[in-house]
Structure 1
Amino acid sequence: MSLVPVENVEHIGRYPPLPPDPPFEEPPPVVITPCDPWPPPYFLEDGLRKVTPYHYTYNTYCKQRWRDREILDIFAAEFRDRPTEYYEKAIIEGRVVLNGKPVPSTKTLVRNGDIISHTLHRHEPPVTARPIGIVHEDDDLIVIDKPAGMPVHPAGRYNFNSIVEVIRADRGINFNPLPCNRLDRLTSGIMFIGKHRQAAEDMSAQIRGRSVKKEYITRVVGEFPDGEVVCEKPILQISPKLGLNAVRANGKEARTVFKKLAYYPPNDGGTEEGQLKEGEEHHPWKRLRGYSIVRCFPITGRTHQLRVHLQFLGHPISNDPIYANQRVFGPSLGRGSTDAENDEDIMTRLSRMGKEEIADAVAYHDEMVDAYNKRKAEKMTGETCNICDTPLYSDPGIHELGIYLHARRYHCADGKWDYETGLPDWALPPPDTEGPTQATEESDPLAVDLKKLGLEDPEDQQEQNLVTNGLTSDVKVAAGAGA
């Protein structure tokens, strides 16, 4: 290496001086939550866990799909909690700020890296007052029985009324519950909560690695077919804002195995199965007399997979406010539908549920539903908060706190662990009726070897043809409309 002389060595060994005026602007301050009450302001009333309204600030980085869009357009399109007029007023009055500064106009464009802050008087919906059940606990994990109607993480209108925050409130502000799997808000059953990061990562990796088998219990409209029923229709997200998914040819691959556990005919004076009463000619779903308790094995894990597949098969979950809603999907309840032609109309009708209308799920016509619950449901009351003018909702009815879908069992394929719950109350036989009161033994045909059905996880094995894999005659494959 050659050495060369330098004329000025005064600054060698230290940093050169900064220019007098830095060429960059200091990052803007992020608005700090003005109120984060502890302990959470819970109170119990009429079988519900409620939260006293409080002020809160949401701080959100610009998502990719928000880039270069007007700020009011983002709020109007992405958030269902408030009407567009509310968000417009919040922007003008400075309750919505961009990078810590007032927004000049509702047409201001949001750029990559921007931070949107929204301060509001937060009104959380009530959830069930039922405590979170503990199935198993050790130094690493808590296995819980999640109550129906409670979201896992704070999201949307829910914050303190979430699994994570209820557990934190119970065990102390420094306890950090780490969910390893997720159930829909309306679904109950087995969930894994990590006590520390490594335990959560290890269990999450097992679930992602498809080494964990799952079994759900549900209650559906009508008499479900006998034998193993396989549905492998792809599922597409239609509206993230409304939480709507559907069977579509361009969706993600999804597979579920179903098997009927019990069927309970209607108690209506002996009406024959499949016969319509006078005035019911325009309601084909009423041919689905009574209800069935069905065991479900999801092989893939798409959002709303069981709910969408059961709707497609013509046996939606009895009290599903979305997929068993005749006011949204019409008299056929979306059976066998793969057509996107009516998606806009479906989304429009669904957006009205809980605002102008009460969600009319077919469960309202179940003889097991008390007349009081048919009238009582969460909807806008027409009143507003005297602090923030937020439209107020009535309390939800009992039938709105969850749906008939329960994650009954999770077990390791290697036999290292196995956690399960009993059957939920809605899956037990009606009074004075015989039927199963617990899940069947492992010898039950539903505990099938998926290799025999050619239904191994598609991410682990090449696609196989069901017919050429020796399917027995009692296995039904949902391959077409109305299957």
Structure 2
Amino acid sequence: LESCGETESLDEPVKKKAKKTDMRIFPYDEIKVTIKNEFIGYHPQYSIAAIRKGRLFINGIQMTNPHYRHENEIPDLPIKIIAETDDFLVVNKPSGLPVHPCGNYRFNSVKALYRLDRQTTGVLMFAKNYETDFKFKNDVLKRAVSKIYLAKVDGIFPNEEIICDQSISILSKATGIRRIDPDGQDCLSRFTLLYANKQENTSIVRCQIETGRTHQIRVHLQYLGFPICNDTIYNNFVWGPLKGKGGDYGGKSIEQLRIDVVKQHDKKSWISESDPDYAQRLKEIGENDLYEHDQLDLLNLKFDELPSYDPICWNCATYQKRPFPDDHWFMPLHCWKYSGDGWSFESPLPEWAIQHSDLIQNNIQENKKEIHQITA
């Protein structure tokens, strides 16, 4: 693993101020709580050790924590071009590739007109000039862009169109996980059954979204009681016996739900071998009043100037990770079609969908409808 130094800022200010001349008299308890909430997975002793090393800076408004990131691996899969025009480059995104910096993915990402989740496949568009980028984003704001996805869900979906307009908000800022919230952002999704497999008790559903909130399709399908197959976040009993159907979290408070969901996705569960002295090293550094601050200016160092090892870095203390299971890379959610003023792009049907002749026929009919609408 190569380490990548990066600065992260905490939005929650530390209320008590410390003397600028001595960084060792910070209010430990408040900083520890903030670190715990914002940087999940850190060792309980990390914040004190970081203070001793001069890593945490207080200016009365923000607390800055310069630390290492170790870039996660990505699957080695081909990226096929769907279309290229004077204005757009459109590709068929494979599963497992993040399209924006998130978590420990900072270099293995691409910049696009919109975001698809790491496990989501399908149409991904790039603008080739500023005018196209500006117009596309304005059309999205005006809801003039048609966005159609396919999803394979648990359960037999109803035959009639289901409209879900439940608002969504962030459950955990540190993980980006969302939940249904009446006071959240407005959302609108339309779901139509394409194929039901009674033997598997699964359905393939057409999903058309008029808004584009993070995890919108996944959260709405969870709320309707048809979570996406292999969705390790939202298709999980940590949300309660009904897996969050109808906003029922098994009697948990929102705070307890947040704690349980974050714990379920604790990155420490991926460790198979780690430095046995890591916890003791943090403890010794944190309790040593005479420990010298870092001599390096970690906030301003260039990438190639960063040290290859950091004694308080959790990733540096991880010797070996467990192999990622298949469901880490794959989830049957596919961005099928995007269309707007004078353009329309469609990706090939994913393997989990083309086996059904009903869906293929529906695909042909949908194409005919869209061609008619564009030429009319």
Cα deviation, residue 262, structure 1: 0.5
Q: Report whether the alignment pairs 1:351 with 2:277.
A: no
1:192 correspondence with 2:125: yes
Which whole-Å deviations, capped at 9, do the CAs of 1:438-478 have from their partners, x for residues lacking one?
A: 6242389999x9xxxxxxxxxxxxxxxxxxxxxxxxxxxxx
Aligned to 1:471: none
Cα-to-partner distance string for 1:146-168 (whole Å, 9 max, x where unaligned): 22222212222111222x2xxxx
Aligned match of 2:214: 303
Q: Which residue of 2 aligns with 1:144?
A: 91
| Partner-residue secondary structure (3-state), 2:133 | helix
Structure label with greater radius of gyration: 1
Question: Which residue in the other structure is 2:359 paired with?
Answer: 436
CA root-mean-square deviation: 3.1
- 2:245 is paired with a residue of what secondary structure? coil
Q: TM-score when scaled to structure 1?
A: 0.59
Structure 2 match to 1:423: 349
Per the alignment, residue 79 of structure 1 pairs with 39
CA contact (8 A) 2:50 2:56 kept: no
Equivalent position of 2:175 in the other structure: 242
TM-fit CA distance, 1:72: 4.5
2:102 corresponding residue in structure 1:
155
Q: Deviations over 1:174-213 (max 9, x none)?
A: xxxx521112222222222233444322322222221110
Kindly indicate whether the alpha-carbon contact (under 8 Å) linking 1:254 and 1:305 is maintained by their aligned counterparts in 2. yes
Q: Which runs of 5+ in 2 are unaligned?
A: 17-29, 279-308, 311-315
Per-residue deviation at 1:347?
Answer: 2.2
Q: Greater share of helix residues, 1 or 2? A: 2
Report SS of the residue matched to 1:192: strand
Cα-to-partner distance string for 1:74-96 (whole Å, 9 max, x where unaligned): 432212353343343233224x2
**What is the CA–CA distance in structure 2 between the aligned matches of 1:261 and 1:444, rounded to whole Å?**
17
User: What secondary structure sits across from 1:311 in the alignment?
Assistant: helix
Q: Is the 8 A contact 2:82 2:91 kept in 1?
A: yes
The answer to whether the Cα contact below 8 Å between 1:406 and 1:424 also exists between their aligned partners in 2 is: yes
In structure 2, what residue type is equivalent to 1:59? T
Shift in alpha-carbon separation, 1:235–1:420, aligned structure 2, 3 A? same
Pairs within 5 Å for 1:367-446 = 379-384=270-275, 387-388=309-310, 389-391=316-318, 392-412=320-340, 414=341, 416-429=342-355, 435-437=358-360, 439-442=363-366
Could you tell me whether the CA contact under 8 Å between 2:169 and 2:185 is conserved in 1?
Answer: yes
Deviates more, 1:187-196 or 1:294-303: 187-196
3-state SS in 1 of match to 2:247:
coil
Task: Kindly report which structure 2 residues correspond to 1:60-459, keeping only aligned pairs within 5 A, or say none.
Answer: 60=8, 62=9, 64-66=11-13, 68=15, 71-80=31-40, 82-94=42-54, 96=55, 98=57, 109-112=58-61, 116=64, 118-120=66-68, 122-162=69-109, 164=110, 178-266=111-199, 290-326=201-237, 328-337=238-247, 341-355=252-266, 379-384=270-275, 387-388=309-310, 389-391=316-318, 392-412=320-340, 414=341, 416-429=342-355, 435-437=358-360, 439-442=363-366
Equivalent pair of 1:148/1:401 in contact (CA under 8 Å): yes
Separation (CA, whole Å) in 2 of partners of 1:198 and 1:390 = 47
Q: Distance in 1 between matches of 2:88 and 2:357?
A: 38
Distance 1:220 1:357 in 2: 29
Taking a change above 3 Å as real, the CA distance of residues 87 and 63 of structure 1, as seen in their structure-2 partners, is closer
Change (3 A) 1:437 1:81: farther
Does 2:1 correspond to 1:57?
no
User: Residue by residue, what CA displacement relative to the aligned partner does 1:207-255 show, whole Å, maximum 9, x if unpaired?
Assistant: 2221110100000001100021111222222221232222222222221
Q: Cα gap change, 1:81/1:199 in structure 2, threshold over 3 Å: closer, same or farther? A: farther
Report the 3-state secondary structure (helix = DSSP H, G, I; strand = E; otherwise coil) of the residue aligned with 1:224. coil
Identity across the alignment (%): 30
Query: What is the deviation of 1:338?
Result: 5.5
Partners of 2:253 and 2:204 lie apart in 1 by 31
Distance in 2 (alpha carbons) for counterparts of 1:238 and 1:253: 16
Report the AA paired with residue 428 of structure 1: I
Amino acid aligned to 2:147: K
Structure 1 residues 143, 445: CA separation in 2 closer, same or farther (over 3 Å shift)?
Answer: closer
Native 8 Å contact 1:355 1:380 kept in 2: no
| C-alpha distance in 2 between matches for 1:74 and 1:305 | 28
CA change 1:186–1:68 in 2 (3 A) is farther
> How many Å apart are 1:396 and its aligned residue?
1.1
In 1, the alpha carbon distance for the partners of 2:70 and 2:88 equals 32
Offset at 1:428? 3.0
Measure how far apart 1:390 and its partner are. 2.8
Deviation by residue 1:406-444 (Cα, 9 ceiling, x = unmatched): 1110001x4x01001121112233xxx754346242389
Alpha-carbon distance in 2 for matches of 1:253, 1:188? 25
Q: Which amino acid aligns with 2:351?
A: D
* Residues in 1 aligned to 2:359 and 2:77: alpha-carbon distance in whole angstroms: 25
Q: CA deviation at 1:311?
A: 0.8
Q: 1:312: how far off? A: 1.1
- Partner SS, residue 422 of structure 1: coil
| Structure with larger RCO (C-alpha < 8 A, sep 6+) | 2
CA distance in 1 between counterparts of 2:364 and 2:45 reads: 54
